[in-house]
Amino acid sequence: MALDKNGIAKRIAKEVKDGYFVNLGIGIPTLVANFVQEDISVEFQSENGVLGMGPFPFDGEEDADLINAGKQTITALDGASFFDSAMSFSMIRGQHVDLTILGAMEVAENGDIANWKIPGRLVKGMGGAMDLVASADNIIVAMMHTNKKGASKLLKRCTLPLTGVNCVKKIVTNLAVLEVTSKGFKLLERAPGVSVETILEATDGHVIIDGEIPEMDL
């Protein structure tokens, strides 16, 4: 059974380690804060100047004055700090962020990412994504494996304008966990009940399969 957005976020949360400073992009990545282990200490950062983001707010509990870089309402943990964008981007460009979790419209088998523009359509724009992909060493992408028409979003080459090149390390979709290697997407895990054949059919880029592929442990 393919994962929903919360399932993707729950799986990515397992990649978050104790002591990490983590940048959360807009969309699915904001949900990751809801699923981090309670026994570890993690600081979530948003490039508009927040350090110490908490879980995504429940309906009716939103604070309209507390938002992330994508204008989504967020929560703040005790001890959270707020600062200007110059300070926030100095953290990013100075490589003080241990893990960056981004959404994407397309990812190529060589690690290129397109997540800021669809020609002819109004989208949120670049934001801090270009700085993040240029500065971060550890980038995980949270995304749906295919678009609404069923076309793959994991491609040989991106067709949309690029945000960054050769930068994505790992991808977690509703179907699978894949690592970006020099030879293509390496399939690491599959969603519960999803077959390897289904993943191959949904992936346009080259997929490497090495032995038995386990199901995700959620």
Give the dihedral sign, CA 5/116/138/153.
positive
Does 213 reside within a domain? no
pTM for the full model? 0.93
Tens of pLDDT along 39-90? 999 999 998 999 999 988 888 889 999 998 888 899 999 999 999 989 999 9
Residue 170 included in any domain: yes
Lowest-pLDDT range, 117-126, 140-149, 153-162? Answer: 117-126
Write out the residue range of the structural domain in which residue 192 sits.
Answer: 5-208
pLDDT at 125 over 70: no
| Residue 106: predicted pLDDT | 97
Token match 């800021």: residue?
Answer: 116
Residue 168 inside a domain? The answer is yes
Give a yes or no: residue 217 inside a domain: no
The continuous run of DSSP H or E covering 41 comes out as none
Which of 29-33, 130-134, 156-160 is modeled with the greatest confidence? 156-160
Helices first, then strands: H and E counts in the chain: 4, 13
Q: Which of 47, 106, 109, 189 is catalytic?
A: 47
Contacts of 91 (CB under 8 A, 6+ apart): 21, 45, 51, 97
Q: What is the CATH number of the domain that holds 60?
A: 3.40.1080.10
Region 174-189 average pLDDT: 98
CA distance 8 to 215: 13
The verdict on whether 47 is a catalytic residue reads yes
Question: Is the pLDDT at 121 greater than 80, yes or no?
Answer: no
Is 215 a member of any domain? no
pLDDT band of 204, cuts 50, 70, 90: very high
Residue 138 lies in a domain: yes
- pLDDT-above-70 percentage for the chain: 97
Cα gap 31→20, rounded to integer Å: 17
According to the model, what pLDDT value does residue 126 have? 64
pLDDT at 162 over 80: yes
Question: What DSSP designation does 56 have?
Answer: P
Q: What angle do CA 202, 204, 210 make, to 5 degrees?
A: 80
pLDDT at 211: 94
Asked if the structure places residue 23 within a domain, the reply is: yes
Among residues 25, 165, 49, which one has the least CA distance to residue 99? 25
Q: What is the pLDDT of residues 12-46, one digit of tens each?
A: 999 999 999 999 988 899 899 999 999 999 999 99
State how many domains the chain has: 1
Model pLDDT, residue 96 = 94
What's the rounded Cα separation, in Å, for the pair 150 and 97?
34
